[in-house]
């Protein structure tokens, strides 16, 4: 794979959790893998005062704990790429000195005027910081923002974290703010789920094999489940979580991305534009859920008290009577030729029985059951099931019916591909390859403006006024360590289906 272009990665929010726990360890892994250009530097911007050396020392334990293969010597070399700038990024006063510092690093390190901004700050700071970057003249569309060598073309790009808005209108507003400063080709809406190898391998499985694609449609697929279950609770993040909930936090972002990969049409080529166009189309084809249909198409829940954490409603910071969901399951229909009549169920929850992220493609059973007369086989044939497990293990399982040797009966068996065993490769932290993609200008695994807005339109009925009935009696309606509220099972039973638990 080509290394990233030489650039300065400018991280706004350098003192924060995401930078220390994810971004810098991921950059260290990319440095060790030889994926960063030797010239590339990282400048962290935050208000807390510290020197370059203090920041480097502060980050070392984070890299030790969160990166694969820590080596003190390699960290010392990597740390020379790290610089810290003290400033309040929402104020105009921050920028003349920041620009000067970036220009100085650019000229000594030969980063060619290329800047990759990363917004790792609270979402309400995104729009003011974007405007300040523009006011400071740091986005020059090919021309150089610093004085040296006017002939060399440069790029300036921006990575935007989730949450990307809180509904369709706020996402559109953020898109407009970005669009006033950056071209769409320079905007990288990140979703670290798309940095996971097994999510990408879904496209390879579908489109590099003859086996799956002919049956990947409503004629053969009964339904599809996309699940992201966590065993942990909300913990101390109640202020953030109570404003967010499982639909905004997980379903609108990560699960809708996985859904798009599973449901999209074959792109005309494996290029960013072609893939993103197909994802936009399939998200656009999601049938809007009418207010009157919301209650029948979803289940919402809040976890009750367990031995190690109180009930969600009793956590400090959660307002009394909060109806924010810690569990959500929604059913979507895709109105296109491929999927008409095949529902997609998206489900996510905290304090669940297992940590598991997966896509389950449940095929229909054969039209006729020739084996009904077998002496010990009274049941019907089960349809094949393809399980693409994203976490905790990265593996694919295909179940099919088989004759039990020596007995006249039939039972399901599974074929399994475990990516870690098969390819013996340690998967790097998803952020690293995604950031290198941004440095190379590859937007394949980043979200387009229309995809984000389309995903909001798909989930909005389940967070708006129409969801009030689903929220009635939500408090403590599921036990920690379970698979969610009883209503989630009922949602499937009503449709004659069951969750893959």
Ligand X SMILES: NC(=O)c1ccc[n+]([C@@H]2O[C@H](COP(=O)([O-])OP(=O)(O)OC[C@H]3O[C@@H](n4cnc5c(N)ncnc54)[C@H](OP(=O)(O)O)[C@@H]3O)[C@@H](O)[C@H]2O)c1
CA-CA distance, 165 to 58, in Å (whole number)?
31
Our CB check for ligand X shows the closer of 99 and 281 to be 99
By CB under 6 A, tell whether 123 contacts ligand X.
yes
Q: Give 218's contacts (C-beta < 8 A, 6+ positions apart).
A: 338, 339, 340, 341, 342
Residue labelled with tokens 């870690």:
420
Our CB check for ligand X shows the closer of 47 and 471 to be 47
CA-CA distance, 255 to 228, in Å (whole number)?
8
Write each residue from 129 to 168 as x if it is in contact with ligand X (CB under 6 A), else as -, in one continuous string.
--------------------------------xxx-----
- Minimum CB separation of residue 252 from ligand X in Å reads 13
CA-CA distance, 390 to 17, in Å (whole number)?
24
By CB under 6 A, tell whether 239 contacts ligand X.
no
Write each residue from 35 to 54 as x if it is in contact with ligand X (CB under 6 A), else as -, in one continuous string.
----------xxxx------
Catalytic one among 83, 192, 223, 254? 254
Our CB check for ligand X shows the closer of 39 and 242 to be 242
- Minimum CB separation of residue 102 from ligand X in Å reads 15
By CB under 6 A, tell whether 177 contacts ligand X.
no
Q: Which secondary-structure segment (H or E) carries 459?
A: helix 449-459
Our CB check for ligand X shows the closer of 122 and 290 to be 122
| Closest by Cα among 218, 206, 207, 181 to 269 | 207
Q: Give 406's contacts (C-beta < 8 A, 6+ positions apart).
A: none
How many residues bind ligand X, per CB under 6 A?
Answer: 23
Burial 179-203 (b: 16+ CB within 10 A, else e): eebbeeebbbbbbbbbbbbbbebbb
Give the C-alpha distances (Å, rounded to integers) separating 122 from 16, 94, 248: 10, 18, 16
Q: Does residue 223 have an active-site annotation?
A: no
Our CB check for ligand X shows the closer of 19 and 201 to be 19
Binding ligand X (rule: CB under 6 A), the pick from 111, 114, 120, 186 is 120
Q: How many CB atoms lie within 10 A of CB 425?
A: 9
Binding ligand X (rule: CB under 6 A), the pick from 54, 71, 88, 185 is 88
By CB under 6 A, tell whether 13 contacts ligand X.
yes
- Minimum CB separation of residue 126 from ligand X in Å reads 8
Q: Give 78's contacts (C-beta < 8 A, 6+ positions apart).
A: 27, 28, 31, 32, 63
Our CB check for ligand X shows the closer of 208 and 239 to be 239
Helix (H, G, I), strand (E, B) or coil at 478: strand
Binding ligand X (rule: CB under 6 A), the pick from 33, 74, 90, 374 is 90
Contact residues: ligand X, CB under 6 A: 12-13, 15-19, 22, 45-48, 88-90, 120-123, 125, 161-163
């Amino acid at each position: 794979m080509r290394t990233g272009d030489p650039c300065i990665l400018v991280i706004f929010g350098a003192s924060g959790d995401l930078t220390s726990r994810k971004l810098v360890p991921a950059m260290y892994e990319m440095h060790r893998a030889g994926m960063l250009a030797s010239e590339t530097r990282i400048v962290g911007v935050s208000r807390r005062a510290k020197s370059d050396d203090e920041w480097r020392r502060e980050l070392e334990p984070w890299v030790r704990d969160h990166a694969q293969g820590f080596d003190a010597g390699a960290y010392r070399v990597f740390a020379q790429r790290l610089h810290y700038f003290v400033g309040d990024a929402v104020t105009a006063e921050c920028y003349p000195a920041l620009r000067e510092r970036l220009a100085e690093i650019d000229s000594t390190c030969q980063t060619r005027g290329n800047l990759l901004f990363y917004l790792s700050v609270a979402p309400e700071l995104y729009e003011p910081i974007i405007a300040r970057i523009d006011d400071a003249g740091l986005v020059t569309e090919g021309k150089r923002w610093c004085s040296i060598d006017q002939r060399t073309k440069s790029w300036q790009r921006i990575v935007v974290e989730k949450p990307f808005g809180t509904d369709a209108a706020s996402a559109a507003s953020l898109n407009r703010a970005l669009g006033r400063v950056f071209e769409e080709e320079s905007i990288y809406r990140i979703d670290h789920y798309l940095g996971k190898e097994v999510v990408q391998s879904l496209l390879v499985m579908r489109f590099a094999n003859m086996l799956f694609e002919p049956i990947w449609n409503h004629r053969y697929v009964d339904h599809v489940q996309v699940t992201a279950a966590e065993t942990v609770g909300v913990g101390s993040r109640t202020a953030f979580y109570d404003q967010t909930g499982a639909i905004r936090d997980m379903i609108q972002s990560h699960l809708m991305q996985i859904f798009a990969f599973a449901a999209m049409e074959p792109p005309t080529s494996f290029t960013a534009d072609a893939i993103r166009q197909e994802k936009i189309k399939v998200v656009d084809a999601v049938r809007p859920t009418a207010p009157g249909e919301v209650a029948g198409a979803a289940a919402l829940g809040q976890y009750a008290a367990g031995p190690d954490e109180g009930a969600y409603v009793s956590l400090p910071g959660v307002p009394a009577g909060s109806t924010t969901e810690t569990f959500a399951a929604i059913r979507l229909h895709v109105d296109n030729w491929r999927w008409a009549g095949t529902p997609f169920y998206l489900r996510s929850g905290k304090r669940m029985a297992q940590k598991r992220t997966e896509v389950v493609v449940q095929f229909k059973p054969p039209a006729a059951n020739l084996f009904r007369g077998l002496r010990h086989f009274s049941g019907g044939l089960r349809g094949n099931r393809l399980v693409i497990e994203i976490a905790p293990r990265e593996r694919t399982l295909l179940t099919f019916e088989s004759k039990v040797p020596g007995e006249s009966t039939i039972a399901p068996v599974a074929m399994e591909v475990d990516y870690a065993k098969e390819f013996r490769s340690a998967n790097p932290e998803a952020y690293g390859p995604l950031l290198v993609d941004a440095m190379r200008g590859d937007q394949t695994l980043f979200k387009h403006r229309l995809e984000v807005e389309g995903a909001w339109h798909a989930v909005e009925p389940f967070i708006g006024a129409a969801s009030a009935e689903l929220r009635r009696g939500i408090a403590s309606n599921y036990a920690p360590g379970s698979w969610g509220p009883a209503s989630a099972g009922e949602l499937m039973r009503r449709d004659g289906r069951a969750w893959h638990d």
